[in-house]
Amino acid sequence: MSYSSPLPAEFLQRLTAIVPPSWYEQVFATFHQHRTCSFRVNTLRSSTADALAELSALDISASPVPWCAEAFVVPHGQRSLLSTSAAFSEGRIYIQNLSSMAPVLLLNPRPGEQVLDLAAAPGGKTLHLAALMENRGWISAVEAVKDRFFRLKANVEAFGASIVHTYLRDGRTVGLACPEHFDRVLLDAPCSSEARFHADNPASWQFWSPAKIREAARKQKPLLFSAWQSLKPGGTMVYCTCSFAPEENEAMVAALLKKYGDAVDILPLELPFANTIPGLTHWLGKEFDPRLERTRRILPDAFMDSFYLAHLRKVP
């Protein structure tokens, strides 16, 4: 089957080597369709029942997500209604793609723990961490880019995440500044954002190139090493990106394995939805450690963006 698309031909060619043939048509279609809109009830500001009642009064029809009690989806056409609601502007709900909720649920922070969110802006995952921790414990949210940092800080305040402490600093320095300090670490690494490409939005992909992927990977590696250095022995970490590119995903985890060896345990990863595939064990002639198959790539569908996830544990 031939596929016509304004997306970069080289990107689509790479995609055929990443996505199994049985999934490719569905994945390709998502770049040309609009997904449903999803949101998470901010349990620091509202109960789920109260938030749903408030939205129902606006004729917003929210459908539950089976694997996340606070998550709901609404038709794409109701997105503007949702984003202009008082529930959103006053911090009772947070509009967020379902895939962005998965890393936080996987990390599963507990009340009272010390948690690091590295490269945290705009703060959606930070807020989710705080909600799961019931605002008990400590979250260090680090962001290096000034305008993104202030957006993060504003969101933390607006959504009532009182255990979040924001830091404007280079994430590459955190591991040395806070060695083996955190119980859990989340690194949603800055990336080429391939999952956000859309055929109707040339700005989303017009600057894409293999060189951009290599540039992202160069930035990701020191961030990943810093995140790992900050993790306590016995602690767990989630590394994730919204890129399809193995150079930004499997290759990064492979680099961590190479540097830290047996101290890195890649945990088997089970997700409560079907649109996932195992991590790759080879790419463009390069072989990866077979344990990379334990990582997962969420494939896009009508509800979810693509996401890569690796769940790691520091062996004591």
Annotation: binding site: 119-125, 143, 170, 188
Q: Rounded CA gap, 228 and 71, in Å? A: 30
- Binding-site annotation, residues for S-adenosyl-L-methionine: 119-125, 143, 170, 188
DSSP E strands, the chain: 37-41, 63-65, 68-74, 93-95, 114-118, 138-143, 164-168, 182-188, 231-241, 264-266, 276-278, 282-283, 286-287, 296-298, 307-314
Active site residue 37: no
- Cα three-residue angle 23-8-200, rounded to 5 degrees: 80
Q: Rounded CA gap, 234 and 231, in Å? A: 8
For tokens 């009064």, what's the residue? 57
Point out the catalytic residue in the list 68, 191, 240, 242.
242
Q: Please say whether the beta carbons of 98 and 212 come within 8 A.
A: no
DSSP count for the chain of H helices, then E strands = 11, 15
Give the type of residue at 41.
V
Q: Rounded CA gap, 128 and 107, in Å? A: 11
Helices 210-230 + 250-260 axis angle, to 10: 40
Active site residues: 242
